[in-house]
Chains A and B, each alone.
Chain A
């Protein structure tokens, strides 16, 4: 079956530090890959996505590249801000797009 594995948190960084959150997946077929973000007290928001191998999704300074050879979709940002503090979820979608499979989430805390 499909599964997503994320690095465990919490990840604590100083403002302006470089961020990497690792995500690997197992899936049948060729999934679409997503990063969702959940700010405190809010619902899930789509951060970025990639639908095929070697695609790079980007948004708000965050980037992730769909690596089929390593079945990975690592999230990166060059300089984090306090406002980036949230929980980040990696997810995949296969086939008819009926259901997302999520990782367990990685909490990011950015301090001044």
Chain B
């Protein structure tokens, strides 16, 4: 396994369009996390899954955002009716379960909303 992968790496869209990103975690990891990183800032937590269950969502995750992990493997993050403020790097990470397990990050998807 080569690590966490994300697709696409870059996405440019017009305001008001919907976008969907995919994350494939390390195969034996049952936890999956989404973070958002804006320019000049550190990543901020959005949500996380334990297997297929979404266990926590940040208040940063507005109603326009939805994340799924239907079979406990890959995950998708959808943003509806994109706004310019959604422009950011969206990072996915995965880990084993257990207290304070190390999180391994993917390369991220850079979203630009015009």
Contact = CB atoms under 8 A, between A and B. Distances in A.
Interface SS, A side? strand
A99 B45 contact: yes
Interface residues of B, number: 27
A42 B9 CA distance: 11
Contacts, number: 53
A96 B99 contact: yes
Which of A43, A45, A89 is the most central at the interface, judged by chain B CB atoms within 10 Å of its CB? Answer: A43
> For this complex, into which size category does the number of interface residues on chain A fall?
20 to 34
12 contacts: A32-B100, A43-B4, A43-B107, A43-B108, A44-B105, A51-B100, A97-B95, A98-B48, A98-B56, A99-B48, A102-B42, A102-B43
Interface of B: 4, 33, 35, 40-45, 48, 55-56, 58, 91, 93, 95, 98-108
